[in-house]
Chains A and B, each alone.
Chain A
Amino acid sequence: MEQIRDTSSIKGWGADSDKLNRPAHTMWEIPIEGTGAHWETPEQQPGFKDFVSIERPRVTKVFGNTVHPKGLSGLVRKMAFKKSEGTFSHWMMLIFADRIGIVEGYLDDFKQGKLPHPLRERGWNMDKKFKTRRYYKVLTMSGLLTVGLIASVVKLTYGNRR
Chain B
Amino acid sequence: MIATNYRGPYRIRADRDKSLPKIEHPNDAIIRVTRSLICGHLYHGLVPDCRVGSVFGHEFTGVVEEIGKSVKNLKVGDHVVVPFNIACGSCLFCKHQLYGNCHETVPQASAMAGFFGYSHTTGGYDGGQAEYVRVPFADVGPYLIPEDISVDDAVLLADAYPTGYQAAEMADITEGDTVVVFGAGPVGIFAAKSAQLMGAGRVIVIDRLEYRLEFVRRFAQCEAYNFEEMDDPVVFLKKETDWMGADACIDAVGCEASGSKLQGILGVKMKIRSGSAVALQWAINSVKKGGTVSIVGVYGPTANLVPIGNAVNKGITIRSNQASVKRHIPHLVEHIREGRIRPSEIITHRIPLEEVSDAYHLFSNKLDNCIKPVLIPPHANM
Q: Which 6 A-B pairs have the closest CB atoms?
A: A123-B361, A12-B340, A37-B89, A64-B124, A17-B199, A64-B125
Q: With contacts A12-B341, A63-B124 known, is A98 near B49, CB below 8 A?
A: yes
- Give Cα A6–Cα B86 distance, bound, in whole angstroms: 42
The contact sample of 7 A-B pairs, CB cut-off 8 A, is A13-B197, A22-B331, A31-B97, A55-B110, A60-B114, A62-B104, A62-B136
- Give Cα A21–Cα B12 distance, bound, in whole angstroms: 42
Do B96 and A56 have beta carbons less than 8 Å apart?
A: no
- Give Cα A18–Cα B73 distance, bound, in whole angstroms: 32
Against A, the Cβ 8 Å flags (1 = close, 0 = not) of B317-352 are: 000000010111011000100111100000000000
CB-CB contacts below 8 Å: A49-103 with B: 50-53, 55-56, 59-67, 69, 73, 77, 81, 85, 88, 91-92, 94-95, 97-99, 101-102
Do B48 and A98 have beta carbons less than 8 Å apart?
A: yes
Do A48 and B202 have beta carbons less than 8 Å apart?
A: no
Shortest C-beta distance, B43 to chain A (Å), equals 10
Q: What's the count of A-B pairs with C-beta under 8 Å?
A: 267
User: What are the residues of chain A within 8 A of B111 when measuring CB–CB?
Assistant: 85
A-B contacts besides A30-B96, A102-B7, A123-B359, 4 pairs, CB < 8 Å: A35-B140, A37-B89, A77-B49, A98-B45
Do B104 and A60 have beta carbons less than 8 Å apart?
A: yes
Do B197 and A85 have beta carbons less than 8 Å apart?
A: no
Do B55 and A66 have beta carbons less than 8 Å apart?
A: yes
CB-CB contacts below 8 Å: A6-30 with B: 7, 9-17, 19, 22-25, 27-30
Q: How many interface residues does A have (CB within 8 Å)?
A: 85
- Give Cα A28–Cα B300 distance, bound, in whole angstroms: 26
Do B198 and A60 have beta carbons less than 8 Å apart?
A: no
A-contacting residues of B (Cβ < 8 Å)? Answer: 7-13, 24-27, 45, 48-55, 70, 72-73, 86-90, 94-99, 103-111, 114, 120-121, 123-126, 136-137, 139-141, 166, 169, 172, 174-176, 178, 194, 196-199, 201-202, 221, 241-242, 271-272, 274, 300-303, 324, 326-328, 330-331, 335, 338-341, 357-362, 365, 367-368
Do B7 and A63 have beta carbons less than 8 Å apart?
A: no
- Give Cα A31–Cα B324 distance, bound, in whole angstroms: 13
A47 within 8 A of B: yes
User: What are the residues of chain A within 8 A of B327 when measuring CB–CB?
Assistant: 23-24
Q: Which residue of B lies closest to A127 (CB)?
A: B361
Do B361 and A124 have beta carbons less than 8 Å apart?
A: yes
Q: Which residue of A lies closest to B178 (CB)?
A: A2
User: What are the residues of chain A within 8 A of B358 when measuring CB–CB?
Assistant: 123, 125-126
Do B51 and A37 have beta carbons less than 8 Å apart?
A: no
Most chain A CB neighbours (cut-off 10 Å) among B87, B108, B109, B139: B108
Q: Which residue of B lies closest to A28 (CB)?
A: B96
- Give Cα A124–Cα B109 distance, bound, in whole angstroms: 35
User: What are the residues of chain A within 8 A of B136 when measuring CB–CB?
Assistant: 45, 62
Shortest C-beta distance, A76 to chain B (Å), equals 11
Do B109 and A61 have beta carbons less than 8 Å apart?
A: no
A159 within 8 A of B: no
Shortest C-beta distance, B302 to chain A (Å), equals 5
User: What are the residues of chain B within 8 A of A131 when measuring CB–CB?
Assistant: 365, 367
User: What are the residues of chain B within 8 A of A30 when measuring CB–CB?
Assistant: 95-97
Against B, the Cβ 8 Å flags (1 = close, 0 = not) of A88-132 are: 100110110111011011001000000011101111111101110
A141 within 8 A of B: no
Do A65 and B124 have beta carbons less than 8 Å apart?
A: yes
CB-CB contacts below 8 Å: A115-157 with B: 116-118, 120-127, 129-131
Do A63 and B242 have beta carbons less than 8 Å apart?
A: no
A161 within 8 A of B: no
User: What are the residues of chain B within 8 A of A64 when measuring CB–CB?
Assistant: 114, 120, 123-126
Do B335 and A56 have beta carbons less than 8 Å apart?
A: no
Do B97 and A29 have beta carbons less than 8 Å apart?
A: yes
Q: Which residue of A lies closest to B368 (CB)?
A: A130
- Give Cα A62–Cα B95 distance, bound, in whole angstroms: 17
User: What are the residues of chain A within 8 A of B359 when measuring CB–CB?
Assistant: 123
User: What are the residues of chain A within 8 A of B25 when measuring CB–CB?
Assistant: 42-43, 45, 61-62
